[in-house]
A and B are shown apart, each in its own frame.
Chain A
């Protein structure tokens, strides 16, 4: 495999990594601070993508769609929190799983009814609709580079908020010891709402950014949600730093692994068996990674402490 190809694969891995991070960030905070398993978090990602598509149809501009989609995703997150999720915080994890499972089923079907079953696509903004030339006559889309940059920017901003502000301090405290924060007289309910809405907006942002790269379709968040769960487990529940490291790790392992595994197998066996075993083994890689991490560190790489 050529160096250029490897470079492209690494860039693709980073791109998947930042999308995973944007989803996992909210998931890990909601889980860490509130002890709430939100299977419906992937739905927020899908909502972001559909909002982007719908608003693009109305405004004709990607940037306008992005600017409008973020508050809309936030508002829908708040709506879901008030209607359903807030009644689940002090309930058993399994009840949370069942209820949020119900939300997924409902919203996926709603998306199909409202927008149809077919995959929709959104063109990238014109400003970024060109590509970087790489060595060997290959090109890499500027939009994808911008996506990676935006993801890294958000990660930095998030780290600043969590590390430097009072709200961030409360969130960190909440992730480590929720009862203590409660005892200190902080309005935990409001803290929860803020964390939740913020997480929903981040996932929505991921959906908007992903819309021009991937296709927008019902259920698009489901498989990504499972991978995002893998990310927060590897990173350690409640840890933003862990989610960041793990997201990039999972993104790279999954993307680069898909090429390397089949190529590697071809050296060892005949191409047709390699073609059959390769993709299966490549799909397993991230789960092998998670099982491996948990075997040596049963609470993930950067355990925040209070997670249960």
Chain B
């Protein structure tokens, strides 16, 4: 039960690690520059777009931990984002403004929900797992739609923002932007750290060959459940930012369409690769903006585009970019 045995069982990480880090760094620097670019062009709009993309990216990165590393295709991941958003929304609505109270509440809600539903869902495999995660997310979705005190189906407009130790960090656009960027970089580092850790190797090995990992003495179930909870916590963080950025939360955040969007982002970007989820999220927000500017019926272009990417871009956009960099390896895990 040595590390090398584990590595042998797991699929090897692509060698282009340095290049992947470079790409990520480039993206982060570019993102950091958007408030400046925004000054030159279009007021704060570019910043708003970038914030939305980064929040999606945080959620998608956490989903990729499940799909790309653990082979657990969750069709209910948006539920955790919604839990985070609602924890934020309800707290603000009830007059609890401190982020140090809101974040733990969001984590507790999402973590508990993930622990219970994960323990049940992980009894199943493959498409049954997809559908049971969907079932739990749908239940939460309808439950949120019945919270008439908090706007029910119509959602909840928030009248103030959270407070960070007396500073107005989350109240100004720039402060919020920098917080989200910092969270994104932190989540990216954390998830990539997990990927190369022993934990990540066990997770990947279990995805390829669960029986073998089990005979090596690891409890596959426990590793998967831990990953499921971690992913839920990160998604809840994205949810809190969602609430803070939009100042509006609604059950639609947790609808199955949003869960589908997150899967689409992960696959589009290239699952299991370092930057896939990140690139996928940025691409999606960008392309929607551009296409919807060309025509009201932009989905006539967007739909076939997804089909073509699915059919021809093996390893998603990240894989495609890495192949552009040099024909050494095919991307994706």
Whether the complex brings A and B within 8 Å at their CB atoms is answered yes
Residues of A within 8 A of B (CB): 31, 37, 84, 87-88, 91, 93-99, 101-110, 112-113, 226, 229-230, 233, 237, 276-277, 279-281, 283-284, 287-288, 290-291, 294-295, 298-300, 307-308
Told that A93-B126, A94-B271, A102-B304 touch, could you supply 8 new A-B pairs with CB distance under 8 A? A94-B263, A95-B311, A99-B311, A102-B306, A106-B307, A230-B135, A233-B127, A276-B146
Docked-complex contact A97 and B135, CB < 8 angstroms: no
Q: Which residue of B lies closest to A106 (CB)?
A: B303
Q: B110 CB to closest chain A CB, in angstroms? A: 19
Docked-complex contact A280 and B132, CB < 8 angstroms: no
* B 136-172 contacts with A by CB, 8 A: 136, 138-139, 142-143, 145-146, 148, 152
Chain A residues with CB under 8 A of B138? 226, 283-284, 287
Chain B residues with CB under 8 A of A37? 127
Assuming A102-B305, A103-B307, A295-B120, is B267 touching A94 (CB within 8 A)? yes
Taking the complex as formed, is B290 at the interface, i.e. its CB lies under 8 A from any CB of chain A?
A: no
Q: A208 CB to closest chain B CB, in angstroms? A: 24
How many A-B residue pairs lie within 8 Å, measured between CB atoms? Answer: 128
Partner-binding segment picked from B10-18, B91-99, B294-302: B294-302
Docked-complex contact A294 and B132, CB < 8 angstroms: yes
Docked-complex contact B306 and A226, CB < 8 angstroms: no
Taking the complex as formed, is B128 at the interface, i.e. its CB lies under 8 A from any CB of chain A?
A: yes
Assuming A84-B307, A101-B260, A109-B300, is B73 touching A93 (CB within 8 A)? yes
* In the bound complex, CA of A93 to CA of B131 (Å): 13
* In the bound complex, CA of A254 to CA of B268 (Å): 35
* In the bound complex, CA of A46 to CA of B104 (Å): 45
Chain A residues with CB under 8 A of B310? 88, 91, 95-96, 98-99, 102
Chain B residues with CB under 8 A of A101? 260, 264, 306
Docked-complex contact B307 and A102, CB < 8 angstroms: yes
Chain B residues with CB under 8 A of A98? 263-264, 267-268, 306, 309-310
Chain B residues with CB under 8 A of A308? 126-127
Q: A42 CB to closest chain B CB, in angstroms? A: 12
**Per-position contact with A for B289-331: 1 when CB-CB < 8 Å, else 0?**
0000000010110111111011100000000000000000000
Chain A residues with CB under 8 A of B142? 280-281, 283-284
Interface size class of chain B, counting residues whose CB lies under 8 Å from the partner chain: 35 or more
Docked-complex contact A93 and B304, CB < 8 angstroms: no
Q: A243 CB to closest chain B CB, in angstroms? A: 14
Docked-complex contact B146 and A280, CB < 8 angstroms: yes
Chain B residues with CB under 8 A of A230? 131, 135
Chain A residues with CB under 8 A of B311? 84, 87-88, 95, 99
* In the bound complex, CA of A136 to CA of B122 (Å): 50
11 contacts between A and B (CB under 8 A): A84-B311, A94-B263, A97-B264, A102-B310, A104-B303, A113-B297, A287-B134, A288-B135, A290-B131, A291-B136, A294-B132
Docked-complex contact B297 and A95, CB < 8 angstroms: no
Taking the complex as formed, is B67 at the interface, i.e. its CB lies under 8 A from any CB of chain A?
A: yes
Q: A44 CB to closest chain B CB, in angstroms? A: 16
Q: Which residue of B lies closest to A273 (CB)?
A: B148
Chain A residues with CB under 8 A of B148? 276
Chain A residues with CB under 8 A of B271? 94
Chain A residues with CB under 8 A of B299? 105-106, 108-109
* In the bound complex, CA of A91 to CA of B310 (Å): 10
Q: B302 CB to closest chain A CB, in angstroms? A: 6
Assuming A277-B146, A280-B145, is B124 touching A294 (CB within 8 A)? yes
Q: A279 CB to closest chain B CB, in angstroms? A: 7
Chain A residues with CB under 8 A of B228? none
Q: A99 CB to closest chain B CB, in angstroms? A: 4
Docked-complex contact A290 and B146, CB < 8 angstroms: no
Taking the complex as formed, is B86 at the interface, i.e. its CB lies under 8 A from any CB of chain A?
A: no
Docked-complex contact A105 and B306, CB < 8 angstroms: yes
Docked-complex contact A237 and B127, CB < 8 angstroms: yes
* In the bound complex, CA of A298 to CA of B124 (Å): 6
Taking the complex as formed, is B80 at the interface, i.e. its CB lies under 8 A from any CB of chain A?
A: no
Q: Which residue of A lies closest to B137 (CB)?
A: A287
Chain B residues with CB under 8 A of A107? 303
* Nearest 8 CB-CB pairings of A with B: A106-B303, A102-B306, A280-B146, A99-B310, A105-B303, A109-B299, A287-B135, A102-B307
Chain A residues with CB under 8 A of B300? 106, 109-110, 113
* In the bound complex, CA of A12 to CA of B203 (Å): 47
Taking the complex as formed, is B256 at the interface, i.e. its CB lies under 8 A from any CB of chain A?
A: yes
Docked-complex contact B135 and A290, CB < 8 angstroms: yes
Q: A237 CB to closest chain B CB, in angstroms? A: 7
Chain B residues with CB under 8 A of A229? 131, 134
Assuming A94-B73, A108-B299, A276-B148, is B267 touching A298 (CB within 8 A)? no
Chain A residues with CB under 8 A of B134? 226, 229, 287
Docked-complex contact A97 and B267, CB < 8 angstroms: yes
Chain B residues with CB under 8 A of A279? 146
